[in-house]
């Protein structure tokens, strides 16, 4: 096969350069497997070069790069168009090629020293990176080249005064870069010298760009996972402000964003798809855990009052979370009962119920019970702080007792031969085994399965085929 023509390669280059970082990374991984394809060799080299170039760009502009997302409009907070960063990078490579080369060499030296461990003194490429960013900041302010003018226009189109905000981000990048290695300490030990160091960094940033206070925290949040951990740094710098003081400040958006995120997570729990299986349950459980973490973060970072403002809203969200989980717990009892069907027998005034073993297990009913029990199991670690610990423990007790009772009745009928089809009885016990495992543990599942095999596989009624195994 012949290689692609120069015209087609240029088309591919344009497409790759305009693609998001994730797409370029995915192409890079996919094309590594096509080493023997002549047609794709030039494309692979192009994508590899672009990926390496972006890695260098994102390293040099690490303080502001996480804020360059999509079109710069789709996320809350101070974000900028991703294309603006690409244009600034292209522009600075054109006017300061020597500085970019120096930064590349510094990056390579730091990587080599880290890999080999031979360097007695750590290699710090920060100075080389900061030099490139400083040049970019000056060129962005002057806007003499087309790349920087277009980048500024994109920023202004994304938000009012977006170019000024982006310029401020470039100006304080050196301060943020110096803070980046300390972020772990700043978010885990917020008092004493750690808090003082964070305050010094904040003052240095606003000394360079007086209006860049919120942007400083946005840039720190961009380096944190999850980003709302920046509340700890804000709290340390402001000495745990009360909600009125923080709410009247330019930093109020950080707390309001977390409160809005809690509302989104509450909706996700409400919308949990019972037919979605364990994946849907785990997603809803993650939302529950996330809410508990965010509530804790707000309560420990800000002095809140339950009577008004953020404190009142947060209290209502906590109550909503507890109520939602309690509804799911009640649903669990109903869905388990539907998955392990009973029927009324006899003609006396006091009629009794017994396991209904005439038909195979209802796959949909079992799937819905399995989904909700996965949710019940996954939310256990956050039950205490989520405000539903007592309800959770009570539900587990009732669920365990109900499944135990069902198992004992089916086993009793199986031992006495009072079942129309022993294989169906075993299948129902197999379902009960899976459900009790979600309520308790795998040992409980194994125990029920062994007892089912013993009771339903005797010489009088050997099982035919494998038991029903449903997706857990």
What value does the mean pLDDT take over residues 307-320? Answer: 94
Which domain, by its residues, includes 382? 240-472
The tokens 């500024």 sit on which residue? 152
Q: What is the pLDDT of residue 193?
A: 73
CB atoms within 10 A of CB 293: 17
Residue 445 lies in a domain: yes
Of the two residues 366 and 113, the one the predictor is more confident about is 366
Residue 471 lies in a domain: yes
Residue 32 lies in a domain: yes
Which residues pair with residue 343 across a beta bridge?
354
340 pLDDT band, cuts 50/70/90, is very high
Of the two residues 52 and 448, the one the predictor is more confident about is 448
465 pLDDT band, cuts 50/70/90, is very low
Question: Of 59, 83, 104, at which residue does a domain stop?
Answer: 59
- Region of 240 on the Ramachandran plot (φ > 0 left; ψ -120 to 50 alpha; else beta): left
* Burial class of residue 154 (count of CB atoms within 10 Å of its CB; 0-12, 13-18, 19+): buried
Residue 465 lies in a domain: yes
Terminal Cα distance for the chain, rounded? 49
Q: What is the pLDDT of residue 377?
A: 96
Q: Is the pLDDT of residue 375 over 80?
A: yes
Task: Supply 323's token pair.
Answer: 């109520």
The total domain count for the chain is 2
Q: What is the pLDDT of residue 52?
A: 85
3-class SS at 369? helix
Residue 145 lies in a domain: no
Of the two residues 116 and 253, the one the predictor is more confident about is 253
Of the two residues 80 and 419, the one the predictor is more confident about is 80
Q: How far apart (Å, rounded) are the C-alpha atoms in residues 402 and 407?
A: 9
Q: Is the pLDDT of residue 442 over 90?
A: yes
Note the pTM of the prediction, 2 decimals: 0.84
Residue 162 lies in a domain: no
Q: Would you give the distance in Å from CA 381 to the centre of its chain?
A: 17
Q: Is the pLDDT of residue 212 over 70?
A: yes
The tokens 């009745």 sit on which residue? 409
Residue 281 lies in a domain: yes
Q: What is the pLDDT of residue 462?
A: 44
| pLDDT cut 70: percent of the chain above it | 85
Q: How far apart (Å, rounded) are the C-alpha atoms in residues 217 and 205?
A: 10
Residues 436 and 404: beta-carbon distance below 8 Å: yes
Of the two residues 19 and 62, the one the predictor is more confident about is 62
Mapped to the 3 state alphabet, what secondary structure does 191-258 carry?
Answer: CHHHHHHHHHHHHHHHHHCCCCHHHHHHHHHCCCCCHHHHHHHHHHHCCCCEHHHHHCCCCHHHHHHH
Q: What is the pLDDT of residue 354?
A: 83
pLDDT in tens, 400-413: 999 999 999 999 88
472 pLDDT band, cuts 50/70/90, is very low
What value does the mean pLDDT take over residues 247-264? Answer: 94
Residue 146 lies in a domain: no
Question: Of 59, 77, 101, at which residue does a domain stop?
Answer: 59
Q: What is the pLDDT of residue 66?
A: 94
Q: Where are the alpha helices (DSSP H) in 271-388?
A: 277-301, 309-339, 363-378, 383-386
What value does the mean pLDDT take over residues 16-21? Answer: 68
Q: Is the pLDDT of residue 4 over 70?
A: no
Q: Is the pLDDT of residue 234 over 60?
A: yes
Q: How far apart (Å, rounded) are the C-alpha atoms in residues 314 and 327?
A: 20
What value does the mean pLDDT take over residues 101-116? Answer: 85
3-class SS at 355? strand
């Amino acid at each position: 096969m012949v290689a692609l023509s120069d015209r087609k390669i240029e088309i591919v280059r344009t497409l790759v350069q305009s693609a998001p970082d994730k797409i370029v990374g995915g192409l890079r991984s996919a094309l590594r497997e096509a080493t023997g394809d002549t047609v794709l060799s030039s494309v692979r080299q192009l994508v590899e070069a672009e990926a390496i170039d972006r890695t260098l760009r994102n390293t040099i502009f690490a303080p502001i790069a996480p804020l360059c997302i999509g079109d710069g409009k789709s996320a809350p907070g101070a974000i900028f168009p991703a294309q603006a960063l690409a244009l600034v990078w292209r522009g600075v490579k054109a006017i300061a090629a020597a500085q970019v080369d120096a930064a590349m060499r510094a990056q390579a030296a730091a990587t080599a020293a880290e890999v080999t461990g031979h360097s007695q003194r750590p290699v710090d490429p920060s100075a080389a990176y900061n030099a490139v960013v400083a040049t970019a900041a000056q060129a962005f302010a002057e806007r003499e080249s087309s790349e920087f003018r277009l980048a500024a226009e994109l920023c202004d189109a994304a938000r009012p005064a977006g170019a000024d905000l982006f310029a401020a981000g470039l100006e304080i990048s050196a301060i943020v870069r110096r803070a980046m290695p300390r972020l772990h300490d700043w978010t885990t030990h917020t008092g004493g010298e750690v808090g003082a160091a964070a305050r010094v960094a904040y003052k240095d940033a606003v000394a360079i760009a007086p209006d860049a206070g919120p942007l400083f925290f946005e840039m720190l949040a961009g380096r944190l996972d999850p980003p709302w951990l920046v509340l700890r740094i804000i709290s340390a710098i402001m000495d745990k402000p009360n909600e009125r003081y923080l709410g009247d400040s330019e930093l109020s958006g950080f707390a309001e964003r977390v409160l809005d995120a809690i509302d989104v997570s509450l909706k996700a729990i409400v919308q949990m798809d019972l037919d979605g299986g364990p994946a849907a349950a785990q997603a809803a459980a993650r939302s529950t855990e996330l809410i508990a973490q965010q509530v804790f973060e707000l309560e420990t970072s800000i002095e809140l009052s339950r009577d008004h403002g953020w404190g009142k809203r947060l209290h209502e969200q906590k109550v909503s979370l507890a109520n939602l989980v309690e509804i799911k717990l009640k649903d669990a009892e109903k869905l388990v009962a539907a998955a392990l069907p009973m029927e009324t027998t006899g003609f006396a005034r006091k009629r009794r119920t017994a396991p209904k073993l005439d038909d195979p297990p209802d796959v949909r009913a079992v799937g819905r019970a399995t989904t909700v029990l996965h949710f019940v199991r996954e939310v256990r670690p956050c039950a205490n702080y989520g405000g539903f610990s007592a309800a959770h423990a009570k539900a587990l007790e009732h669920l365990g007792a109900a499944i135990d009772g069902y198992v004992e009745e089916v086993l009793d009928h199986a031992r006495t031969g009072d079942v129309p089809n022993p294989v169906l009885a075993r299948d129902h016990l197999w379902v009960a085994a899976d459900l009790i495992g979600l309520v308790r543990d795998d040992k409980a599942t194994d125990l029920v399965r062994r007892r089912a095999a013993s009771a339903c596989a005797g010489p009088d009624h050997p099982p035919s085929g494998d038991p029903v195994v449903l997706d857990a």
